[in-house]
Structure 1
Amino acid sequence: MTALQHVKLGTYYVVNMPEPDDFGFWRDRARQLVQCDVPPDRVAWVEPGGTASLFSHGDRRMPVPDLSARPVRASKRFMQLARNAAHHTDPERFALLYRLLWRLQSNPRMMEDKADSDVRRVEELDKAVRRDAHKMHAFVRFRLVEEGDEPEAPEHYVAWFEPDHHILRREAGFFVHRFANMRWSILTPRGSLHWDGETLCEGPPAQKSDAPSGDPAEDLWRKYYASIFNPARLKIGAMLKEMPKKYWKNMPEAALIPELVAGAQQREASMVAEGKADFTAKPETLDAVAKAIHACRNCPIGALENHAVMGEGPRDAALMIVGEQPGDQEDIAGRPFVGPAGQVLDAALEETGIDRSAAYVTNAVKHFKYVQRGKRRLHQTPTAKEVDTCRWWQEAERAIVKPKLVLALGASAARGILGKTVSISKARGEPISLDDGSELWVTAHPSYLLRLDGAAKAQQERLFAADLAAVRARLAELGQ
């Protein structure tokens, strides 16, 4: 009797998983079953220590596919989700994965259907496992264990962690790579890992009492955590979402959190008082402006991990060029327009005949506003309120430099000078008289040109060049 005949007669196959996280074993057995045309409702997937269905008493030997059996198809997205979902604790995960694999054979694009209940479920399992792994990376805390009285005995560090899913072996490589020079053990209720600097070994499940409760270095860690705690950036809801209370008991710094949160409002008020700019009188020198903007915390941008970027150029420049805000490279270098947009600006100025070194170059907003995405800091456009708040410093610079012409690069820069929003397309090409007797010329920001391509890019580059040429001609009329 062939394997296919077994299926037709109602044979029920039982797959006993050797480990609860053995995706490779599941994949091999699932491929074999699909090639033998065994439908999902005729397979039971049993984890170690589990029991199969009462109706699984049929032939438990795995069927052997014929040589003519078609290859099993599985999309890249399915494999990515399945590898993670296999580490979940849902007892139905392997059955779910097999059902999806079975359905993929007749509908290869099924994983694109976000409304499909099986697809949604495997995405949920994948997300939960990845989140659990993230928590493990963030919240494992090693503690030093004393091993004997010998002074040259190697140090051994032990950590206790309670994962929600079967991620211990999955994340072993992360800790081996990160703590390669330490001797350490990670104990969990699901198993343990032990690294001696050369070899990684697995061990049985442990109890929290098997792990040490503390070591002298934790006092230093708590002092450090308290020193970097920023009350101005405290969002309790977001903090609890990223660091649930279930992990607090294993983290030495967590004991400080209630007290730090309780005193956050008072500490924030103190920080604001210390960094509050004096808006009663404008600074009279550029050095005074530079010192003041580094201490300014009058908008949320100043509370980010960045540095104020002061304008640069001659104290008596006839032309002041104003951009929107520093970018990532400007924040690092401490100078305006040194990144990609600055390169576009420099090339356009040189082609037009404007000497950048003779101009005073600054920004409407003095700090870099960004959002963190992994290791990258992505630019965020400042709000009208943030531009208006920082207008104080740009006006102070203009009062000191006293330029005859001001070139605003982009809508934010124009608002910083005029105090209102204007349309670039309507304002460009003609001078706007300012209260101090100078003229404002408005054009696009160079970063806008970087985001374009094709005909649109060519058109905007022509307009940008024409705007700079008009400014150069006006400077010549004024004898500059």
Structure 2
Amino acid sequence: MIYAPQLPRLGTFEAWRDAARALASNDVPPEDVEWAMEGAEAGLFGGGAALPDAREMSVPRGFVQLAKLVCASRAVGAHDLLYRVLLRCRGNGNLLSNRADPQVQQLEVWAKNIRRDMHKMKAFVRFREVTPQGANRRQFLSWFEPDHRIEELIAPFFTRRFGDMDWVIVTPEVTTRFEGGELSHESITSERLDLSDETEDLWRTYYANIFNPARLKIKAMQSEMPKKYWKNLPEADLIPGLIAQAEARVRQMQKDAPTLPPIRAERILERLPVRAGQDDLHSCARCPLGAQATQAVGGAGPLDAPLMIVGEQPGDHEDLAGKPFVGPAGQLFDEIAAQAGLDRSAAYVTNAVKHFKFTPRGKRRIHQSPNRSEIDACRIWLTREIAQVSPALIVALGATAAQALTGNGAQIMQRRGRVEQGLDGLPVLIALHPSAILRSDQSAQMRAALLADLQLAAQMIEEISAL
């Protein structure tokens, strides 16, 4: 005998609960039940047999709340799987706490999707006032397109939040009304409403002015405000333009900001000798990095050195000391360079980017790799150093240095140990950055690779010097 309960669009959970109780209390196996929403195409068995009378039964704590959420899901098989887990729950009160169970795990995934959909509805419902003249309560109207059948689940939130006004929320399948303190739902099909009004221009102006380009994180923004909701937000059509203008606006904000350095940075700068060609490096504002770093860190070494070593950027130690290659990565480089027979003191060492890029985490400053625009903005200082030193060979340590020197920062592991022509016309030897060794779980192999690269550099410099 096959049963085919038909679930209504409104009261779906209550209808499922009553049918499931009648079926489960009579030990009807899930294979004999064909769940369907009312109005959907009839299954193989049409309306099915009449449901048996329900008997007394109990379910574990938490199952009812889980069932309320899952019953709102549009996922295929949600009602069937819910019934299967209900049968398994009898005599197994701990089943729902076993998140390793694949059926329980799937129900939790569907419930999480429902909660997320409810959260998005709370965030993106936009009411428009439609109060007629002479009304004693303000009246508002809104349109929303949920992914799931959540209208009944979410309505209590809006009644608590907007209990002092009358409102209507229209979705493609359900119209929810709160009028005179009474809540009602009506299952009717509706087309998208046009709710534009004169306040939208004011809101768009406000939104454009509070948009902070310096704190723009596109992926995080789209995670919290997915594009599918943009069509209902009046400010959404401004977003692409605001993103495109963000970098230019940040530069303008830096230009307009006060130019006095922090007291701590000023004291450090007073102790720094001014090297030829670096007289305006410390006031550089070509990219945003200078605003957060303690100071710019230029190169160090003989100005007639035949070898130039270019790293990525200053680290935490370099930022405070004002000297390149003095932190853990620089110390490791010195150690490997000595093994390779390379005289570090005879080389000019510098970085592709002159300011420390980091993100604060408590009291620590965590290194962040420079992006393409920051590398390009700092290229002027590296070009000036190369012209000043005029080395016979440049060693590019890592992707950032390779990008700055050759225009290509990709596939460093495949390119390492090779000599390429740099953008300045000089030979550039691609090598690993010592910080990669410190972070790697294959440090021995990577250390051997950097040692081989520096041995090659020492050999090339020796050959050049012999000419």
Q: Does residue 1:186 correspond to 2:163, yes or no?
A: no
Is the Cα–Cα contact under 8 Å of residues 192 and 202 in structure 1 kept in the other structure? yes
* Matching residue of 1:355: none
Secondary structure class of the residue paired with 2:151:
coil
* Mapped partners of 1:126, 1:299: distance in 2: 43
Which string of whole-angstrom CA distances, capped at 9 and with x for unpartnered residues, describes residues 439-464 of structure 1? xxxxxxxxxxxxxxxxxxxxxxxxxx
CA distance, structure 1, for counterparts of residue 71 and residue 4 of structure 2:
18
What amino acid maps onto 2:205 in structure 1? Answer: K
Alignment partner of 1:259: what SS? helix
1:157 has 2:143 as partner = no
Displacement of 1:132 in angstroms is: 0.9
State the 1:151 CA deviation. 6.1
1:145 maps to 130
5+ residue gaps, structure 2: 269-288, 294-358, 368-467
Q: Does 1:171 align with 2:154?
A: yes
Instruction: Report the Cα offset of residue 113 of structure 1.
Output: 3.4
Q: Secondary structure at the match of 2:235?
A: helix
Q: Trace 1:85-234 onto structure 2 (pairs within 5 A).
A: 85-145=70-130, 147=132, 150=133, 155-209=138-192, 211-234=193-216
- What TM-score, normalized by structure 1, do the two folds share? 0.52
Q: Is the 8 A contact 1:12 1:60 kept in 2?
A: no
Partner of 1:264 in structure 2? 246
Identical columns (%): 39
Contact 1:276/1:298 (<8 A) preserved: no
- Local SS of the residue matching 1:203: strand
Q: Which amino acid is 1:227 matched to?
A: N
Q: Confirm whether residue 41 of structure 1 aligns to residue 31 of structure 2.
A: yes
Q: Do residues 381 (structure 1) and 371 (structure 2) align?
A: no
Q: Which residue of 1 aligns with 2:230?
A: 248
Shift of 1:56: 6.3
What's the CA shift for 1:101? 0.7
Q: Is the 8 A contact 1:16 1:47 kept in 2?
A: yes
State the alpha-carbon separation in 2 of the partners of residues 212 and 94 from structure 1.
Answer: 35
Distance 1:28 1:297 in 2: 66
Structure 2 partner of 1:345: none
Residue 298 of structure 1, CA deviation? 4.8
Q: Provide Cα deviations, 1:74-130, integer angstroms capped at 9, x if missing partner.
A: 242x33322211111124211111001111224332323334331222112111111
> Which whole-Å deviations, capped at 9, do the CAs of 1:395-421 have from their partners, x for residues lacking one?
xxxxxxxxxxxxxxxxxxxxxxxxxxx
Cα separation, partners in 2 of 1:14 and 1:245, compared to 1, 3 Å: same
**C-alpha contact (below 8 Å) 1:145/1:212 kept by paired residues:** no
Q: Distance in 2 between matches of 1:124 and 1:297?
A: 45
Q: Is the 1:14–1:46 contact (alpha carbons within 8 Å) kept by the matching residues of 2?
A: yes
Q: Report if the CA contact (8 A) 2:169-2:175 is conserved.
A: yes
- 1:421-440 alignment, distance < 5 Å: none
Paired residues in the alignment total 279
**Separation of aligned partners in 2, 1:266 and 1:121:** 46
Does the residue aligned with 2:34 lie in a helix, a strand or coil? strand
Q: What is the CA-CA distance between 1:58 and the residue it aligns to?
A: 5.7
User: Which is worse superposed, 93-102 or 55-64?
Assistant: 55-64
Aligned-partner residue type, residue 235 of structure 1: K
1:56-79 deviations in Å (ceiling 9; x for gaps): 6763232443xxx6x333242x33
Q: Is the 8 A contact 1:13 1:62 kept in 2?
A: no
Deviation at 1:51, TM superposition (A): 4.6
Once the two structures are overlaid, the 10-residue window that deviates more, 107-116 or 52-61, is: 52-61
Amino acid at match of 1:44: E
Deviations 1:250-279 (A, max 9, x none): 111112111111111122233445267605
- Aligned residues of 1:12 and 1:42 also touching (Cα < 8 A): yes
| Counterpart in the other structure of 1:334 | none
The CA distance in 2 between the partners of 1:39 and 1:299, in whole Å, is 65
Are the structure 2 counterparts of residues 180 and 268 from structure 1 closer, same or farther at C-alpha, using a change threshold of 3 Å? same
Aligned to 1:72: 58
Match of 1:12 among 2, 22, 42: 2
Q: CA separation of 1:208/1:223 partners in 2, compared to 1, >3 Å: closer, same or farther?
A: farther
Q: 1:267 to 1:35 in 2, by over 3 A?
A: same
Cα distance, 1:297–1:198 mapped onto 2, change above 3 Å: farther
Question: C-alpha separation between the residues in 2 aligned to 1:277 and 1:89?
Answer: 59
CA–CA separation in structure 2 for the residues paired with 1:257 and 1:162: 21
Contact 1:45 1:95 survives alignment (8 Å): yes
SS of 1:169's partner is helix
Equivalent residue for 1:278? 261
Task: Please provide the CA RMSD for this pair.
Answer: 3.1
Name the amino acid aligned to 2:110: L
- Could you tell me how far apart the structure 2 residues matched to 1:239 and 1:170 are? 26
CA distance in 2 between counterparts of 1:152 and 1:18 reads: 35
Q: Contact between 1:277 and 1:297, CA under 8 Å: does it hold in 2?
A: no
Could you give the per-residue CA deviations for residues 285-331 of structure 1, whole angstroms, max 9, x where no partner exists? xxxxxxxxxxx99559xxxxxxxxxxxxxxxxxxxxxxxxxxxxxxx
C-alpha displacement of 1:154: 5.7
SS of alignment partner, residue 97 of structure 1: helix
Task: Find the residue that maps to 1:114 and give its secondary structure.
Answer: coil
Matched to 1:241, the amino acid is: S
CA distance in 2: counterparts of 1:218 and 1:166, whole angstroms: 29
- Please report how far the alpha carbon of residue 21 of structure 1 lies from its aligned counterpart in structure 2 after TM superposition: 5.0
> Does the CA contact (< 8 Å) of 1:160 and 1:208 recur in 2?
no
Structure 1: distance between partners of 2:11 and 2:140:
26
Counterpart contact for 2:5–2:48, Cα < 8 Å? no
CA contact (8 A) 1:16 1:45 kept: yes
Shift of 1:153: 7.7
**C-alpha separation in 1, matches of 2:290 and 2:123:** 30
